[in-house]
Amino acid sequence: MAKTATQDRKSSHLSICSKKNVEFREKRTGFDDIDFMHCALPELDLDKIDVSCSIFGKKLSAPFLIESITGGSAEAGKINRSLAEAAQQAGVAMGLGSQRAMMENASLINTYRVRDVAPDIFLLGNIGIAQLLEYDAKRIQEALEQVEADALFIHMNALQEAIQPEGNRNFEKCISSIEKLTSQLKLPVIAKETGAGISKEVALSLKNAGVKGIDAAGAGGTSWGAVELLRNPGAHESFWEWGIPTALSIVEVASVCNLPLIASGGVRSGIDAAKAIALGADYAGAALPFLKSAEKGSKGVAEELAKWKEQLKICMFLSGSKNLASLVNSQLLITGKTAELFKLRGISTEGFANRREHSRAIL
């Protein structure tokens, strides 16, 4: 079968993201504006700090997720296998890239299949919001079964579609389509952005539409305004910097729903992950850093994950947090632009700075 437009587009995304600078140039995630209140006497053994947790009933040795990246070509298949092997070894979760290519061309299914190298990981299938109008729940369920996924990521990419020459410009009826799918699909649906973030208002609509988790995927990391501009130099340059910074998006989503929350978009270390969790996320994910470390195969990805895990543990040690539940109550000093944005949206930075006042007496 001839290559489809979807395959071509996915291949050029992969090559642009691997070779060019596709990150936000000025807008930051907000993590730089956030410091942990240092605890000089943690009363903890660093080696006993526990970062294990679970996600929809599956164990994770650390609260990390390799975000959806690819599928649909031989190269993509190789990357998926490296990512999956590392996820299995590190005990973390992983998302497959959009399954649209394999739904349009069944000969590509193998480029998404990773269960032979990653039998135990929490694995998410992936489909774009625009494809919900095209495929019914039965067809999506079949695509998930073909890759043995545990859950579905629906990605919301309005920014990317709006500036792509061939993009889908009609986002009417998305909420009712999600509602229909969540009521029919046998697996949990998690809604994700792709780098422009989710506000509290959208998070509430998603929750009401029956999603079982949210991935904030905010601004500050990979910019899809940038990727599409580099793919098509005629696109609008002014959207390179569009989106809700990740730190703000995490707090917005966490403030209105208690669904499992993944933080991604510019998470670049275990320290960023610790800050994301302290802001209210349950898990931290990233795409670009793992795509880059996959150049060294699964070993490169596993090394990156091990580094993140150690950094997370050290942050917990230095903030006096013995486990992930206590990290969520650690004290954060939020300043600069991020503090300004929090104030604009009615979020108290003093609240974050002065948490755990009662338990401090125990320290």
Ligand X SMILES: Cc1cc2nc3c(=O)[nH]c(=O)nc-3n(C[C@H](O)[C@H](O)[C@H](O)COP(=O)(O)O)c2cc1C
Q: Write out the residues near ligand X by the rule CB under 6 A.
A: 13-14, 17, 67-70, 97-98, 126, 153, 155, 192, 194-195, 217, 221-222, 264-267, 286-288, 291
Contact 122, 150 (CB under 8 A): yes
At its nearest, how many Å lie between ligand X and the CB of residue 277?
16
Rounded to an integer, what distance in angstroms lies between the CA atom of residue 141 and that of residue 136?
Answer: 9
Q: Which is nearer to ligand X, 44 or 217 (CB)?
A: 217
| Element housing 152 (H / E) | strand 151-155
DSSP state string for 201-244: HHHHHHHHTT-SEEE---BSSB-HHHHHHHH-TTS-GGGTT-S-
Q: Which is nearer to ligand X, 217 or 316 (CB)?
A: 217
At its nearest, how many Å lie between ligand X and the CB of residue 313?
21
Rounded to an integer, what distance in angstroms lies between the CA atom of residue 5 and that of residue 45?
Answer: 54
Residue number closest to ligand X, CB atom: 221
DSSP state string for 131-143: GGGTS-HHHHHHH
Contact 51, 270 (CB under 8 A): no
Contact 206, 195 (CB under 8 A): no
Angle at 39 between CA 38 and CA 44, to 5 degrees: 135
Q: Which is nearer to ligand X, 10 or 207 (CB)?
A: 10
Give strand pairing partners of 333: 35
Q: Which is nearer to ligand X, 117 or 191 (CB)?
A: 191
Q: Which is nearer to ligand X, 221 or 320 (CB)?
A: 221
Q: Which is nearer to ligand X, 70 or 249 (CB)?
A: 70
At its nearest, how many Å lie between ligand X and the CB of residue 68?
4
Q: Which is nearer to ligand X, 44 or 198 (CB)?
A: 198
Q: Which is nearer to ligand X, 74 or 325 (CB)?
A: 74
Rounded to an integer, what distance in angstroms lies between the CA atom of residue 173 and that of residue 195?
Answer: 22
**Where does 37-115 show beta strands of DSSP type E?**
53-55, 58-60, 64-66, 93-95
DSSP state string for 3-17: PPHHHHHHHHHHHHH
At its nearest, how many Å lie between ligand X and the CB of residue 217?
4
β 58-60/53-55 pair status: antiparallel
Angle at 262 between CA 112 and CA 20, to 5 degrees: 60
At its nearest, how many Å lie between ligand X and the CB of residue 146?
16
At its nearest, how many Å lie between ligand X and the CB of residue 53?
20
Q: Which is nearer to ligand X, 36 or 153 (CB)?
A: 153
Distance from CA of residue 222 to its chain's centroid?
Answer: 11
Q: Which residue reads 């610790």 in tokens?
A: 274
At its nearest, how many Å lie between ligand X and the CB of residue 218?
8
Rounded to an integer, what distance in angstroms lies between the CA atom of residue 9 and that of residue 259?
Answer: 33
At its nearest, how many Å lie between ligand X and the CB of residue 144?
14
At its nearest, how many Å lie between ligand X and the CB of residue 211?
14
